[in-house]
Copies of this chain bind each other. A is one copy, B any other.
Amino acid sequence: MRIAMIGTGNVGRALAAGWSRAGHDLVFGSRRPDDEALREELAEAVGARVPVLDPASAATGAEVVVNATPGTESVALLGAVGARALTGKVLLDVAVGFREDGALSHPVESLGEELQRAFPGTAVVKTLCTVDAGLMCAPHALTGPSTLFLSGEDAVAKRTVGALLRDLGWPEESLLDLGGIATARGQEHYSLLFLGVAGALGTYGFGIRIVPPAAEG
């Protein structure tokens, strides 16, 4: 599958490496596509040379576009990519934005919803924002199974994303489909508990597992 990774930070690099190892065809979208130092860094992070294009060009040739940009800038950055390059695509949205005071940049409606509304011809699927970049491709590094969440309106797109998550090592039974894109609010809001737990544990490398009831009352 041809995947355009919009964003070249830790998350974009980790995911590009994971999907590249799984045999997918990666391309980075960057505002600095001609930066040779960046290209070298990305090649090292991914373990292979990966094309670096401007974001719109990267998205145009892809089946799945991944939003791994800072959540505070995602709307503007994807707006610059443009609806034409995104229409008919799956937009796998990983981003969460924080304001300077530590509050969510999208405290009411989620970023996922705002992106879905901005690009009605694109199937936005929110996922992966509840784990650290280092863990996204290494769920087996935990002491036990944990849960990953999916939010989105399009069932086919969620199946596509589910397959990509399995390619990263997340077993089918770890994936929990929360429902429509409005449920992205829960995934994004969880970030604040994530940060609190990270502070208490002294590591970002933990997961959460939904523990179901033993029997329905």
Nearest Cβ distance between residue A128 and chain B, in whole angstroms?
14
**CB-based nearest B residue for A104:** B107
Number of copies of chain A assembled together: 2
Inter-subunit contact A197/B210 (CB<8 Å): yes
Inter-subunit contact A213/B208 (CB<8 Å): no
In the complex, which of the residues B108, B134, B212 contacts A201, with contact meaning CB atoms closer than 8 Å? B212
Inter-subunit contact A200/B176 (CB<8 Å): yes
Distance A78 CA – B13 CA, assembled complex (angstroms): 49
Q: Is A152 part of the binding interface, using a Cβ–Cβ cutoff of 8 Å?
A: no
Distance A6 CA – B143 CA, assembled complex (angstroms): 39
Distance A107 CA – B107 CA, assembled complex (angstroms): 6
If over half of A's interface residues share one DSSP class (helix, strand or loop), that class is named, otherwise mixed; here it is mixed
Q: Is A20 part of the binding interface, using a Cβ–Cβ cutoff of 8 Å?
A: no
Inter-subunit contact A217/B200 (CB<8 Å): no
Distance A141 CA – B186 CA, assembled complex (angstroms): 24
Inter-subunit contact B205/A217 (CB<8 Å): yes
Q: Is A101 part of the binding interface, using a Cβ–Cβ cutoff of 8 Å?
A: yes
Comparing A39-47, A49-57, A177-185, the segment that makes contact with chain B is: A177-185
Q: Is A192 part of the binding interface, using a Cβ–Cβ cutoff of 8 Å?
A: yes
**Would you give 26 A-B contacts (Cβ < 8 Å), ordered by A?**
A102-B185, A103-B108, A107-B107, A107-B108, A143-B211, A143-B213, A149-B197, A151-B196, A176-B197, A176-B200, A177-B200, A178-B196, A178-B199, A179-B199, A183-B196, A183-B199, A183-B200, A185-B196, A186-B195, A189-B190, A189-B191, A206-B213, A208-B208, A208-B209, A208-B211, A209-B209
